[in-house]
Structure 1
Amino acid sequence: MFEVITWGGAALSLAGLLGLVWCILRVMKARRSGLSDDELRAVVQGVLPWNLAALFLSVIGLMVVIVGISLG
């Protein structure tokens, strides 16, 4: 039972990590495309909520892993 919780938390953390990588790649692509400062700022502001959500998902996943290990 607790093994499922641990692996579920690991999956959540991995999903959050993939989201963070996507955010990094999206901003790097925007920087390389030679956008003006205002356009680049708009891209970063659009990516920011996704970045925070991915970070939150990763943290929640790590907390679930710790709970699963502690209880198991």
Structure 2
Amino acid sequence: MWDGFIWGGTVLTVAGLAALVWCMVTVARAKSRKLDDEGMRAVMRRVVVVNMAALAGSVFGLMFVVLGIMLGR
């Protein structure tokens, strides 16, 4: 049972990290296109939501991994 926590947490953490990379790439592309102020705000609004969800997913994933390791003994 605890192996499921470990592997599920690992998948959640990797998904969160992939979303963080997506956020970085999206912002870099927006900066290179030299968008106007309103266009940049629209991009950043979407990126901030994904960024917060990715951070939360990574945190919960790491918590599941630690719980699985600690309680699986």
TM-score by length of 2: 0.91
Task: Tell me the SS of whatever aligns to 2:13.
Answer: helix
Q: What is the distance in 2 between the residues matched to 1:68 and 1:18? A: 22
Q: What is the distance in 1 between the residues matched to 2:17 and 2:46? A: 18
User: How many correspondences in the alignment?
Assistant: 72
Which ranges of 4 or more aligned residues in structure 1 deviate by more than 2 Å? Answer: none
Q: What is the distance in 1 between the residues matched to 2:46 and 2:57? A: 18
Name the residue aligned to 1:19. Answer: 19
Offset at 1:36? 1.5
Percent of pairs with identical residues: 47
Structure 2: tracts of 5 or more residues without a match? none
Structure 1: tracts of 5 or more residues without a match? none
Root-mean-square deviation (CA, aligned residues, Å) is: 0.9
Q: What is the distance in 2 between the residues matched to 1:16 and 1:64? A: 14
Q: What is the distance in 1 between the residues matched to 2:34 and 2:65? A: 41
Name the residue aligned to 2:49. Answer: 49
Larger mean CA deviation between 17-26 and 31-40 belongs to: 31-40
Q: What is the distance in 1 between the residues matched to 2:46 and 2:35? A: 15
